[in-house]
Structure 1
Amino acid sequence: MANHKSAEKRNRQSQVRRLRNKSNRSRMKTAIRKIDEAVVAGSADEAREALKQAIPVIAKTASKGTIHKKTASRKISRLTKRVNQMTA
């Protein structure tokens, strides 16, 4: 437990950031799950639409610092590759 005023503030800040990061990560995972479900179902149009909606969500998660920029890029690339292979 924090004993100093500055440590208590740091603890509060960490909790706020943890919740914000959790929310961002959850939003991103939901967007990715929608793509996966569309790919498994074999629906090319739904997969393309879900990808179009997921790319900005993943990029925003990275810009907020929740995930690393290169991790976001890798996720976008792999999802795009899956959707493109499915439609081809």
Structure 2
Amino acid sequence: MANHKSALKRNRQAQKKRVHNRYYAKTGRNAVRKLRATVEKDAATEMFPKVAAILDKLAKKNIIHKNKASNLKSKLAKHISKL
């Protein structure tokens, strides 16, 4: 257990931030999953910029690594081109 007021506050802040980050990371994963499940090229092409923007925002806020966002976008673009 924390012994200082500042440590207690830091624990509260970290817990709040963790919940926030997990929510947005899950939202990004769901968007990627939904795009991968799409079998129509038109729908996937229309969806791709939105998903790419979500991934870029997650990387900008350090929720996911910038290289991970880049790799995901690359794989999704490759997936769309194969449809």
TM-score past 0.5 threshold: yes
> Which of 61, 69, 73 is equivalent to 2:70?
73
- Measured after TM superposition, the shift of residue 64 of structure 1 is 0.7
CA shift digits 1:44-70 (9 cap, x unpaired): 111112212100000001101101111
Alignment of 1:7-18 (within 5 A): 7-18=7-18
- TM-score, scaled relative to structure 1: 0.86
4+ residue runs over 4 A deviation? none
Alignment of 1:56-71 (within 5 A): 56-71=53-68
> Which of 34, 46, 62 is equivalent to 2:43?
46
Preserved CA contact (<8 Å) 1:34 1:50 = no
CA shift digits 1:12-62 (9 cap, x unpaired): 111111011111101101210111110xxx211111122121000000011
How many equivalent pairs are there?
83
Q: Percent of pairs identical after alignment?
A: 39
The structure with higher relative contact order (CA 8 Å, sep 6+) is 2
Counterpart residue identity of residue 53, structure 1:
K
Consecutive unaligned residues in structure 1, runs of 5 or more: none
